[in-house]
């Protein structure tokens, strides 16, 4: 057993425990946030030191390669921005700030493990480690909406975990192993022996795996929890859910399906499932988002739509699709975090998430309003924001795989999404303000908003650095 390969996750758990212990003695709770943010330098340093490794340990349960390390960087970056943007918001639960930051760190540790697993049982354990912390975080406000959101998320999460576990049981029952590389060998033997279609239990298991993972990335028809949970959860946790949980879910899907079920005879079938689910997800997400008056619910349906866009890349089998998905995730994380961080600043002042209450916000806070508008433009896919390049890469990959029909549906959905995103921009810039009072924001929140906004612009103009990292990360797939 090589514990060095687990150093990013172990150090993250160590920081979480340190925060809990210091919470007993420190009166100034902002110190806990500072420790949480600066403490992330340790797992980031370990992740950098591990770059280029390609090892398996703990009997093949843990796999450390550039693919898993890419997602570690992504989740650590998301976690740092969420904690920075939480410093003002955390006053709403002043007595429990230590637990709040510790749970975010523990959930991040589980999400990082999800991308590093090479075996079904370890995938399930990592997923539950991340999910249990998120169940508590969603209900952290302890008001009726937050409590309802936490209960719904926990119940539906438990059902999805049961479905996922049942799928794993079917796969294990047919192949006799839970290790992804060994499952690939068994599936290959079934294909070469012409027995694949004589094993409906295996195919049913794959369908159940898609259903279980579909819940984690909020795709149709497993999206029922999204609007209520996004609305009721603390806004920083909504931001964390919308990007970190989705990134980890995509990491597991790529690892499982390209490693265990990447054989051509079966990959075309699950790729078509992803294509159909993607088309339905982006259409339902965008159409229903038009009717939303609450900005967090609107971004919840936007998240469902973006799960559909991600599935375009999943359906486009090959290196272009894989690297396109990773780049899309990085761009989506920056844009979505930028939007939610701006919403945190505005909501802290006006006490509302209703879009109508954002009237004239550009006059009250021009910088925050511009950052929110620019993030929404990126989510549409308009240059020079990163969303344009992200969609360009996955659309190109899909066209290369003769999925023109899916690209046309995705392009049409991008046009539909412009209506509800630009409606928010119109309310902020055209409508008359209800007050002239400016929107205050702390230095940590401004820093996190600046990082997200600059990242959206830089990756939109110069995407090649992250794209090369993504290509390097997916090189380990056949």
For residue 308, tell me if it sits in a domain: yes
pLDDT, tens digit, for every residue of 148-172? 888 888 888 888 888 889 999 988 8
For residue 334, tell me if it sits in a domain: yes
Average pLDDT over residues 300-304: 91
> In the prediction, which pLDDT does 201 show?
82
How many beta carbons lie within 10 A of that of residue 240, not counting itself?
29
For residue 121, tell me if it sits in a domain: no
Average pLDDT over residues 454-469: 89
d(CA 320, CA 314): 10
> In the prediction, which pLDDT does 422 show?
92
> In the prediction, which pLDDT does 151 show?
87
Average pLDDT over residues 140-144: 82
pLDDT, tens digit, for every residue of 73-97? 999 999 999 999 888 887 777 778 8
- 106-115, 141-150, 261-270: which range is least confident on average? 261-270
pLDDT, tens digit, for every residue of 318-370? 778 888 889 999 999 999 999 999 999 888 878 788 888 888 888 888 899 89
Confidence of residue 456 (pLDDT cuts 50, 70, 90): very high
Among 10, 258, 260, 224, CA closest to 110: 10
pLDDT, tens digit, for every residue of 414-446? 999 999 999 999 988 888 877 778 878 888 889
For residue 39, tell me if it sits in a domain: no
Is residue 110 reached through a cis peptide bond, with omega within 30 degrees of 0 on the bond before it? no
> In the prediction, which pLDDT does 197 show?
63
Mean pLDDT for all residues in the chain? 87
Distances (CA, A) of 476 to 53, 318, 319: 11, 12, 10
In this model, does residue 476 exceed pLDDT 90? no
42 vs 199, residue with greater confidence: 42
For the purposes of burial, counting CB atoms within 10 Å of the CB of 125, is it exposed (0-12), middle (13-18) or buried (19 or more)? middle
In this model, does residue 44 exceed pLDDT 90? yes
For residue 242, tell me if it sits in a domain: no
Q: Which residues contact 41 (CB under 8 A, 6 or more apart)?
A: none
Q: Which residues contact 99 (CB under 8 A, 6 or more apart)?
A: 20, 23
d(CA 254, CA 317): 10
Supply the pTM of this predicted model: 0.92
In this model, does residue 114 exceed pLDDT 70? yes
For residue 14, tell me if it sits in a domain: no
Residue 170 structure tokens: 């079917």
In this model, does residue 127 exceed pLDDT 90? no
**8 Å CB contact between 279 and 409:** yes
> In the prediction, which pLDDT does 340 show?
92
> In the prediction, which pLDDT does 1 show?
62
- 111-115, 314-318, 336-340: which range is least confident on average? 314-318
Among 458, 460, 296, CA closest to 378: 460
In this model, does residue 314 exceed pLDDT 90? no
Helix pair angle (97-114, 66-89), 10° resolution: 160
> In the prediction, which pLDDT does 82 show?
92
d(CA 174, CA 180): 13
d(CA 309, CA 410): 7
Domain assignment of residue 456, given as a range: 263-478
Confidence of residue 408 (pLDDT cuts 50, 70, 90): very high
In this model, does residue 478 exceed pLDDT 70? no
Per the structure, the count of domains in the chain is 1
**8 Å CB contact between 328 and 398:** no
> In the prediction, which pLDDT does 53 show?
77
For residue 459, tell me if it sits in a domain: yes
How many beta carbons lie within 10 A of that of residue 175, not counting itself?
22
For residue 216, tell me if it sits in a domain: no
Look at the block and give the residue holding tokens 């390209």: 258
pLDDT, tens digit, for every residue of 250-266? 889 988 888 888 776 77
């Amino acid at each position: 057993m090589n514990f060095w390969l687990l150093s990013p996750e172990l150090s993250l758990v160590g920081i979480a425990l340190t925060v809990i212990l210091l919470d007993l003695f420190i009166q100034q709770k902002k110190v806990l946030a500072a420790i949480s943010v600066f403490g992330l330098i340790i797992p980031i340093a370990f992740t950098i030191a591990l770059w280029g490794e390609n090892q398996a340990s703990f009997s093949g349960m843990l796999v450390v390669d550039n693919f898993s390390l890419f997602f570690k960087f992504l989740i650590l970056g998301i976690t740092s921005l969420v904690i920075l943007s939480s410093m003002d918001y955390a006053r709403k639960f002043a007595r429990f700030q230590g637990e709040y930051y510790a749970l975010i760190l523990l959930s991040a540790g589980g999400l990082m493990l999800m991308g590093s697993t090479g075996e079904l049982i370890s995938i399930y354990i990592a997923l539950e480690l991340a999910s249990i912390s998120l169940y508590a975080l969603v209900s952290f406000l302890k008001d009726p909406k937050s409590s309802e959101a936490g209960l719904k998320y926990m119940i539906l999460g438990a059902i999805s975990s049961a479905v996922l576990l049942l799928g794993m049981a079917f796969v294990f029952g047919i192949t006799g192993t839970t290790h992804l590389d060994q499952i690939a060998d068994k599936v290959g033997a079934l294909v070469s022996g012409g027995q694949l279609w004589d094993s409906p239990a295996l195919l049913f298991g794959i369908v159940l795996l898609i259903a279980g993972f579909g819940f984690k990335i909020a795709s149709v028809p497993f999206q029922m929890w999204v609007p209520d949970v996004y609305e009721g959860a603390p806004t920083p946790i909504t931001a964390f859910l919308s990007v970190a949980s989705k990134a980890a879910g995509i990491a597991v899907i790529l690892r499982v399906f390209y490693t265990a079920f990447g054989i051509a005879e079966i990959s075309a079938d699950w790729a078509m499932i992803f294509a159909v689910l993607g088309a339905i997800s982006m259409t339902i997400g965008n159409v229903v988002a038009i009717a939303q008056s609450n900005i967090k619910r609107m971004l919840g349906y936007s998240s469902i739509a973006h799960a559909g866009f991600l599935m375009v890349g999943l359906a486009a089998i090959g290196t272009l699709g894989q690297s396109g998905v990773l780049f899309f995730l990085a761009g989506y994380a920056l844009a979505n975090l930028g939007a939610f961080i701006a919403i945190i600043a505005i909501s802290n002042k006006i006490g509302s998430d209703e879009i109508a209450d954002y009237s004239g916000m550009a006059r009250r806070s021009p910088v925050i309003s511009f950052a929110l508008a620019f993030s929404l433009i990126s989510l549409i896919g308009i240059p020079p924001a990163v969303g344009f390049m992200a969609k360009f890469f996955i659309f190109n990959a899909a066209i290369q795989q003769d999925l023109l029909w899916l690209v046309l549906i995705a392009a049409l959905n991008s046009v539909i999404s412009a209506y509800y995103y630009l409606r928010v921009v119109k309310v902020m810039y055209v409508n008359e303000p209800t007050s002239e009072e400016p929107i205050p924001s702390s230095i940590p929140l401004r820093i996190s908003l600046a990082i997200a906004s600059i990242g959206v612009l830089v990756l939109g103009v110069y995407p090649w650095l992250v794209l090369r990292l993504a290509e390097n990360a997916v090189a380990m797939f056949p």
